Copies of this chain bind each other. A is one copy, B any other.
Amino acid sequence: MKILEDRIRQDGVLKPGNVLKVDNFLNHQMDIALFDEMGKEWARRFADKPINKILTIEASGIGIAAIVSRHFGNVPVVFAKKAKSINLEGDVYKTKIESFTHKKVYDVIVSKKYIGPEDHVLIIDDFLANGCALQGLIELVQEANATIEGIGIAIEKGFQQGGEIIRSKGIQLESLAIVDGIDDASGTIKFREQ
């Protein structure tokens, strides 16, 4: 998606160790007009899918998912929570996700009330790298006997394994920008042709 790639080139900050920081517009400060364009694009790519629910995970996925819902008829958006809240009672689906960014393993939960066999789910998140978070969300949907209609990711790090693992499961994964290489010394980013 050209406008996202252009924005990453313009405002993304490259750091040693293949780190790409996009907190200017994606995951700390959020550009809502950009999210709207992303929603339009996913609506086009998933036009044939009977999506009736969007699932994301706190915190960075929530803003994107909320705006995206508008392009799928305002379907409910559920965000998985990263720790047991004493206010979230009753039965939950639960899995564990390993975060390499934060170097820890945490529980991720979704209330059984908000996802079930009748749901056709689009999973939305901001980043895909090793795929741990996404695999956790996939497990939650499968536990609920819901149908995964597809996955929308803003930025995929194509040089890490997550995308390949997910696609090998036969799931339609639509990453709007796939970064195949980062050279922080020269400040260049190589995007995969789509």
Mark A residues whose CB is within 8 Å of B.
19, 21, 23-24, 28-33, 35-36, 58-59, 62-67, 69-70, 74-79, 81, 85-89, 101-102, 110-111, 113-114
Copies held by the complex:
2
Q: Please name all residues of chain B whose beta carbon is closer than 8 Å to the beta carbon of A63 when the two chains form the complex.
A: 62-63, 65-66, 77, 79
Given A87-B101, A101-B85, decide whether A32 and B114 contact each other with a Cβ distance below 8 A: no
Q: Could you tell me if A88 and B23 are in contact, using CB atoms closer than 8 angstroms?
A: yes
| Contact sample, A vs B, 13 pairs, CB 8 Å cutoff | A23-B114, A24-B113, A24-B114, A28-B111, A29-B78, A30-B62, A32-B70, A32-B74, A32-B76, A59-B62, A59-B79, A67-B67, A85-B102
